Structure 1
Amino acid sequence: MVDIVFGFDFGVKRIGIAMGNTLTWQAQPLTVIKAVDNATRFQVIGDLINEWKPARLIVGEPFHPDGAEHDMTLRSRRFANQLHGRFNLPVELVDERYSSAVIPHKRGEVIDAKAAAIILQQYFDAHANI
């Protein structure tokens, strides 16, 4: 059975979303949510979940380069817990250190969705042979 999987790059101002599936094991950017309030954010996410029917959600978990946690680590975990609670889907956290750093920063590009694709691809690369 082929499953759709969503990846999230959580941010306070924007949330990047990527999608992929367990047939090709390839992630691709989907969209960026720019809403600042949780109600709107989760409404958009809910609409995407209803449209695509993902079986699993992957959330990037940021750390300092030395592995230490920081404020966004805790916020990302909270976001992952909220996704699980609201949509009753399995949610996994993936270390996202350097996910944004490997993307060329060009003016006008949607970097957050590309970072979400890198996070999701890291998950796929770790699970493709399972």
Structure 2
Amino acid sequence: MTLLAFDYGTKNIGVAVGQSFIRIAHTLKVIKNKRSGAINWLKFSNLFNQWKPEKIIIGLPLQMDGSQQYTTILVKKFAFHIKKKFNINNIEFHDERLSTVEAKCILFSIGGWKKLQKSDINSLSASIILQSWFENNK
């Protein structure tokens, strides 16, 4: 089964792909939202046509105490639109707490400050979210 994972952001949405058979997440290119903040659904359509995912994993942003935040509501709206626009019912949320911190640490260890590009962070975060989902769903 092919899975796509997303790390939602108001400016950039990190993307990762994985296969349930090999259980390894791979980063894909970030999808930049339009200047107005609207989601670029055409790029998502191309992504879904290319990968034909059977399951979607979306990072759920929570406060460190587990409570919701404003972005949590935006992520749930994002999931609702994916379900409706692409007729995908198999969507799961996965706790993304500290995925961005982990992504920054990995990128910094590879190339220092120069490697800390926002798009790299978002896509690596999506990959971390998907890899964590694989590990928690054996």
**Normalising by the residue count of structure 1, what TM-score does the alignment of the two structures yield?**
0.90
State percent identity of aligned pairs: 32
Alignment of 1:1-130 (within 5 A): 3-36=1-34, 37-38=37-38, 41-89=40-88, 90-103=90-103, 104=105, 105=108, 106-108=113-115, 109=117, 110-128=120-138
Question: Whole-Å Cα distance in 1 between the matches of residues 21 and 49 of structure 2?
Answer: 20
How many residues end up aligned between the 2 structures?
125
Unaligned runs of 5+ in 1: none
Query: Residue 45 of structure 1: CA displacement?
Result: 0.9
Letter in structure 2 aligned against 1:127? N
Question: Whole-Å Cα distance in 2 between the matches of residues 88 and 38 of structure 1?
Answer: 20
**Normalising by the residue count of structure 2, what TM-score does the alignment of the two structures yield?**
0.85
Question: Whole-Å Cα distance in 1 between the matches of residues 15 and 129 of structure 2?
Answer: 10
| More displaced stretch, 52-61 vs 97-106 | 97-106
Question: Whole-Å Cα distance in 1 between the matches of residues 74 and 114 of structure 2?
Answer: 27
Unaligned runs of 5+ in 2: none
Letter in structure 1 aligned against 2:4? F
Question: Whole-Å Cα distance in 2 between the matches of residues 88 and 113 of structure 1?
Answer: 24
Question: Whole-Å Cα distance in 2 between the matches of residues 11 and 44 of structure 1?
Answer: 15
Q: Any conservation in 1 of the 2:16–2:123 contact (CA below 8 Å)?
A: yes
Question: Whole-Å Cα distance in 2 between the matches of residues 28 and 113 of structure 1?
Answer: 9
1:60-82 Cα shifts (integer Å, max 9, x gaps): 00011111111001111111111
